[in-house]
Amino acid sequence: MKSDDSEIELIDKVLKGDKQAFNTLTRKHYSFCLNKASRIINDRDIAKDLVQNAFIEAYFCISNLNDKNSFKLWMGGIVNNICKSYVRDNTKRFLSLKQYCEEFRDSQIFEEAKLADIVLMAIKTLDKQNEKIVYAFYYEGKSILDICNEFSMSEALVKVRLHRTRKELKIILERDLDLKEFQQYFKNKKAMKKVRIIDMVLGGENKKSCSVLLYDEESQRVLPIVITKEEAEAMLMAMKNIGFPRPLSFNLISEIIRTNNLKPEGAYVTELSGGVFISVLKLKNEQGITAYDARPSDSITIALMFDCPIFVSQKIIDKVGFPVPKKYKNMTPQEKGIEQLTQLIENSLFEMKAKMETLKVKKSAIDIQEHVDKLMDFVFEDDNSLNQRHR
């Protein structure tokens, strides 16, 4: 779902401080936000108050909006989070699996939606009669009494069937490879934080090194990783999808990954040992996921080539990450370093194309033979013979 041009223009005006433009945006999406809040809260008056709170939060955080085409989904996510927070603080509410699916899919929280899908697929493997009862109780949120009336069963029989199918479901889910992978994902999620690159700043002697700045939005901390200028250029080319006249090493690696039916899961910066960052690149195939030891620059570059996430250990962020100063909290990174490095890459490409054009000029047979003779002399003659020849 994409925003139209006028909405993107409104967002640009808001970023420049135009409050009226933000009022226009909120009016446009008010019904959507209120309906979403009402589904979660079940009290329209409270939902209205929470939507207003969501709009206030959105106004101060709009600089964090990465994709202007996704404003509606982003706004819906804020409403969803505020409403869930209200529910946690004020009530204990039972969510049926159906409500769980609807709320999380609507807010684009794919991890929770995936969990619901895994459970639903397991339910479909049950005996048909038991499947219907479990589906009605857990998915549709019907009461025991409603199920008794619908299936003409006694309350005792319904409870027995639910008890037995719970045990059966447990066995099915314990064998489910997708669920095991999902459980591992959440274990990693507690220890690993998703980050994004906010800039790449050249430095060091003659600007031969580059600090890649990784930003953890949750803690609002920045982790700098120092790599060589060449590694940074490869990373930026992957990030901006900059083409090269001839395939580079990373192009070869990505092609090998694709042709072997491997799917990158992400780059994980896991440890800091002796001042050196340790990372792994995770690749998935039909047999499962394999973690490959790699330099952070390599694993991140490949992750960027496949549009995969980048994760950093929470311990590393806490240990060497630094907080964004308060005066910059609601400001968008200017990416001046990225622009500078991009310009250098474009200049290098221009020079390389010019050199390739000169190489296309045909040399005479005499020139070629002279070049071959010198090459063979260097390879086969000893130093004394060469020195005597040049005297």
pLDDT digits (tens, 9 = 90+) for 171-218: 887 887 777 766 665 665 557 899 999 999 998 777 889 999 999 998
Q: What pLDDT band is residue 68 in, cutting at 50, 70 and 90? A: confident
Mean per-residue pLDDT of the chain: 82
Please report the pLDDT score of residue 109 as a whole number.
45
Instruction: Tell me the per-residue pLDDT of 301-316, one tens digit each, with 9 for 90 and over.
Output: 999 999 999 999 988 9
337 and 231 in a common domain: yes
198 and 291 in a common domain: yes
Question: Which of 189, 193, 35 shows the shortest CA–CA distance to 112?
Answer: 189
Pairwise pLDDT comparison (167 vs 110), residue with the higher score: 167
Residue 180 lies in a domain: no
Distance CA 32, CA 36 (A): 6
Sorted by sequence, the CB contacts under 8 Å of residue 332 that are 6+ apart come out as 15, 63
Distance CA 115, CA 125 (A): 16
With beta carbons less than 8 A apart as the criterion, state whether 331 and 63 touch.
yes
Cβ-in-10-Å burial (0-12, 13-18, 19+) of 195 comes to buried
In the chain, how many H helices and how many E strands?
17, 8
pTM: 0.49
271 and 133 in a common domain: no
Residue 145 lies in a domain: yes
Residue 357 lies in a domain: no
Q: What pLDDT band is residue 360 in, cutting at 50, 70 and 90? A: low
Instruction: Tell me the per-residue pLDDT of 308-352, one tens digit each, with 9 for 90 and over.
Output: 999 999 889 988 999 988 888 788 888 999 999 999 888 888 777
Distance CA 333, CA 340 (A): 14
Please report the pLDDT score of residue 12 as a whole number.
87
150 and 85 in a common domain: no
End-of-domain residue from the set 119, 146, 175: 175
Q: What are phi and psi of 290, to 5 degrees?
A: -120, 135
Please report the pLDDT score of residue 110 as a whole number.
47
Residue 352 lies in a domain: no
Q: Can you give the residue range of the structural domain that contains 136? A: 99-175
Number of domains making up the chain: 4
Pairwise pLDDT comparison (67 vs 299), residue with the higher score: 299
Q: In this structure, what CATH number is given to the domain that contains residue 266?
A: 3.10.690.10
Residue 275 lies in a domain: yes
The two three-digit tokens of residue 317, written as one number: 């962020």
H or E stretch covering 12: helix 5-15
325 and 341 in a common domain: yes
Q: Is the pLDDT of residue 299 over 90?
A: yes
- What angle do helix axes 5-15 and 19-41 make, rounded to 10 degrees? 110
Please report the pLDDT score of residue 3 as a whole number.
47
